[in-house]
Amino acid sequence: MKSKNPMKKYLFLRRFIAWALFILLLVSFHRLDIFHKVIQYLPKIQFGQSMAGFFSQGALSASLIFLSLALLTVIFGRFFCGFICPLGAFMDLTIFIGSKIKPAPFSFKPNTFYRLIIPALLLLAFWLGLAFPYNYFEPYSLLVSGHGLLLIIIILALLKGRVFCDVLCPPGLLLKLLSGSGLFGLKFKQNSCLSCGACQRVCPTSCLNSSAKSLDRGRCLLCLECAAVCPNGSMTYGLITRPPAGRRHFLKLASAGALAAGAYLTSPELRVRTFGQAPPAPILPPGALSLAHLNAHCSLCHTCVSACPNGAIQPSHSLVPVLTAKPLIEPYQGFCQYDCLICGQVCPTGALRPLSLEAKRLTRLGLAQLNRPECLVIKNRTSCGACAELCPTGSVRMAPGPSGQDEPTMNTDFCIGCGACQKACPVRPIAAIVVAGLTIQQTAKAPLTLETPDLSLSEDFPF
């Protein structure tokens, strides 16, 4: 009887899709050289990431993905949470393994207002420009940045199921509102259900009430665990038939829409006005335009951090709110490769704009400054020139200087602040040449070109 339940195969299908995406994500982060194409698309299809892109008026593709996912959620329910979300898959796996040791301990909990407080506050903060709390809880960022919250999530998953998706996940709140009175969903077969309670013991979001034969669709993640466990197939997925929606429901939807539109229009400007420019001078990755732009658009998914082939982009450890966890260039780790465009290409939110090679080569991230007394050539009178060697624009050159020998000589008109000189300088812990970042990126002067013909030797063999 049990094995004939047709919903079982849908559960396996769902698990297969969700877990495969999760594993793909893990693998792609460890083997970027093979999977860098994949990693471009994984964050882009995330609801939370595309939502950040949409509300910060980032890339058009992010907005389109966000709107499509939102529309699909209204029609089909929170399929994103069940089938796509990698953190959801991670919790699923945790619960799955936990249930092999001890059967799932879940039970029905009624929906309450308190459940939406935290995600609502996170969304509000995000709207005001404080992106990092949002991003600590945005499932994709959370998983990718892998901070300590993951441990709490494992414990929560084992004890309370996917409670995270309901009471903490900020994009989850939006999905909850969108799916609450959607067109399709899971439903009880009222006449065959025996109210045995099997479904509510496996429901990881506690949204099923077996005795009342009712289901809170806002919280239902379409994980299909309940339908697969039902002994007589009384849990089915289909069109929800109900009395026509009242005026009240329409008003609710309309006000939610108005709120979203208002948020969309006001968000970027409001953020800059709220938090303004940061005091220190970080080196922003190319295409960030300005700290204000980065702050408004970056969802801290750290895809650029993982994708940077030189390891130049690092999550900031700064405690200044607008900088915390922001992807910044850290020249001691690596410099921004002159002909590389990857970060702008992988950024899912448009925080780092994709640049043309010509534009990238002129994008000034900061300005290099030489600390003459610390320079080895000047201090030790040895030949070095590592900075001039690496400089792609000719801003630092070895030329006769006050020290009486060839020393680094700066012409910052051409400097793009890529940090190659700082990385190459052998002086540590503080290099003798360092880049000071710019909060608003500039355009450097194009490097000089020489069109004079090649010289020739005065004799055939000068030796």
Partner 1 sequence: MYRRSFIKTLVGGAALLGLGQALGRGPGLTAALAQDYPDLVAIKGADITVMFDQALTALGGLGRFVTKGQKVLIKPNMGWAVEPRRAANTSPELLAHLVKRVKELGASKISVFDNTCDNWKSAYSTSGLEEAASKAGALVAPANSEKYFQKITIPGQSKLGQTAYHELYLEADVIINLPVLKHHGGAKMTAALKNLMGAIWDRSDLHWGGLDQCIPELMLYKKPNLNIVEAQRVMLNGGPRGYGDSQYLAANMLLASADPVAVDAASYRLLAESGIREPGYIAQAASLGLGQSDLSLIKVQRLTV
- Torsion angle in degrees (nearest 10) through CA of 66, 68, 71, 72: -110
- Output the smallest distance, CB 220 to partner 1, in A: 46
- Output the smallest distance, CB 353 to partner 1, in A: 21
Q: How many Cβ atoms sit within 10 Å of the Cβ of residue 283?
A: 24
For partner 1, which is the closer residue by CB, 323 or 376? 376
- Output the smallest distance, CB 146 to partner 1, in A: 23
Q: How many Cβ atoms sit within 10 Å of the Cβ of residue 180?
A: 20
- Output the smallest distance, CB 237 to partner 1, in A: 47
The single-letter code of the amino acid at 340 is C
Q: Are the C-beta atoms of residues 218 and 202 closer than 8 Å to each other?
A: no
For partner 1, which is the closer residue by CB, 252 or 379? 379
Tokens, residue 352: 């780092």
For partner 1, which is the closer residue by CB, 271 or 361? 361
Element (H, E) at 315: strand 313-315
- CA-nearest of 232, 217, 225 to 177 is 217
State how beta strands 214-215 and 235-239 pair: unpaired
Cis peptide before 280 (omega within 30 of 0): no
- Output the smallest distance, CB 449 to partner 1, in A: 4
The single-letter code of the amino acid at 22 is F
Count the alpha carbons within 13 Å of 130 in the hemisphere toward its beta carbon.
Answer: 12
- Output the smallest distance, CB 31 to partner 1, in A: 14
For partner 1, which is the closer residue by CB, 243 or 462? 462
For partner 1, which is the closer residue by CB, 257 or 426? 426
Which residue(s) pair with 328 in the sheet? 314
Residues that bind partner 1 (CB under 8 A): 33, 309-310, 337-340, 376, 380, 382-386, 388-394, 397-398, 406, 424, 426, 447-450, 452, 454-458, 460-463
For partner 1, which is the closer residue by CB, 157 or 312? 312
The single-letter code of the amino acid at 293 is H
Dist. CA 44–CA 58, nearest whole Å = 12
For partner 1, which is the closer residue by CB, 102 or 454? 454
Tokens, residue 66: 């966000």
Write the DSSP assignment of 91-139 as a string of letters.
HHHHHHHHHHHS----------GGGGHHHHHHHHHHHHT-HHHHHHHSH
For partner 1, which is the closer residue by CB, 3 or 380? 380
For partner 1, which is the closer residue by CB, 211 or 356? 356
Dist. CA 428–CA 405, nearest whole Å = 23
Q: Across 149-253, where does the E strand assignment appear? A: 184-188, 208-209, 214-215, 235-239
- Output the smallest distance, CB 404 to partner 1, in A: 13
- Output the smallest distance, CB 222 to partner 1, in A: 42
- CA-nearest of 137, 92, 102, 140 to 117 is 137
For partner 1, which is the closer residue by CB, 191 or 449? 449
For partner 1, which is the closer residue by CB, 224 or 391? 391
Phi, psi of 30 (to 5 degrees): -90, -25
State how beta strands 313-315 and 208-209 pair: unpaired
Q: Most distant CA pair in the chain: distance in Å?
A: 104
- Output the smallest distance, CB 314 to partner 1, in A: 16
- Output the smallest distance, CB 30 to partner 1, in A: 15
- Output the smallest distance, CB 385 to partner 1, in A: 2
